[in-house]
Structure 1
């Protein structure tokens, strides 16, 4: 890390009924980023909170540190603590957050953000099991239950439990590039980027006995992204009919084969933009997009910037 690079402060808010696992995710992920982040944990009044396990949690900070945060992460709470509103002390604590600070919810804490109006008119997600309840309580929020996290700029929401890892790695990637995010993921022994969304974890009928997986075909495709792979190519490798393969792929990954291929090509293009001096057209060819224009279109649809803008941001960030 450069001597002039500012350390970003992440403040984690623990509410009554907090899940200990999710509470520890920000410290574990951001703490592995080579000193680029400082992580503090607080409660709304500085006093201990009861976890959803058989112990209470004592913290060193009260709500005043929320006003100093670059990023605030609200850890998830037990579903039986979810209500249509929030206590006055929680609302007062959230009001301390600076207007330019990022706010991240993990799992059920999306209900907290919705209750104070921070998700009004925004796209968001939460645990798939609570989809119906969330929609009844907050119909004005565009809930997407099929994704692992939603990045709406200043406000980010993530799905259940381990999706907190995904959104924190995403922030490291956005702040400092894929190289550091991949390093953090290796340190924490987690995948740097999970395929698909939470649709793959939703309860559904057990596949028939002996049903083949599409995992081997996904691995095969990742080695051939530069090729013009079709659904027929994928189904043929898996030795399934087109219809069976498409259905099984969607059940396992939560995306159609076509959307998954685009996602993987964009991810590889981002890595090449960060780590190489190849032209946009050359990168497009290496990841399987027919033209540089196609790469520009898909990258912009995915993250909202052009290849040149992305390269300027993350090659510079990685070199600092």
Structure 2
């Protein structure tokens, strides 16, 4: 698929979103091969814009909830139309649509995502069932979109990924989301009035969530060697960064403090991932809780 100036400008707009919003994912995407790097940035950009509609920039601008829903609906409709026609006047949507068309990102991947974003407009507390539905749409399908990119970018005919990779992508997405829920719990509860995990004042529940995260991270790590070679280092780095966050959540004395991974540790995680996966050696990117990362 040849790039026009408009296509290149759309991709640059998408890249600016990930640079501004995420140091961790921004670092990981720089480690992707050029075949997939732009596509993953395009996916991230659309996801981030939708998220800003329901709990970020739109709220800060004073946009009422009913108007947030209208804006979100319009973004979803524009996304489907752009995929069908190959063009959008919205640069971020245009970039995503080009990726979806090339890599086989289907409506079945996109609809659950927008459904979860709508949930944020009218659901403040979640039980286990609604949590699982929300996480599937907000995170697992994003992992599946990226997997479509990993498997199909540059191919003339998109194909379905290996079921083991599908499982790994879903579990990695779920782990990432639950880690973010835990580290952002104080802000979600205080600023937005949301409780995704039911961990407020419930130490045992928090420990259960962390155990689930550990299991998801371990299961996802086992599938990284199955990925195309130009994706393994980046995915292993993202896995390692979030595993380090999980380790810090395990060890946190203040459960309301927002844990972070220092930049030197991020660099070390990336180096370990590069050494391990560029030589196709197995690695355990989740640090032992007995040894601070």
Scaled by the length of structure 1, what TM-score is found? 0.29
The structure showing larger relative contact order (alpha-carbon pairs under 8 Å, at least 6 residues apart) is 2
Q: Which has the higher helix share?
A: 2
Q: Which has the higher strand share?
A: 1
Scaled by the length of structure 2, what TM-score is found? 0.31
Which structure has the bigger radius of gyration?
Answer: 1
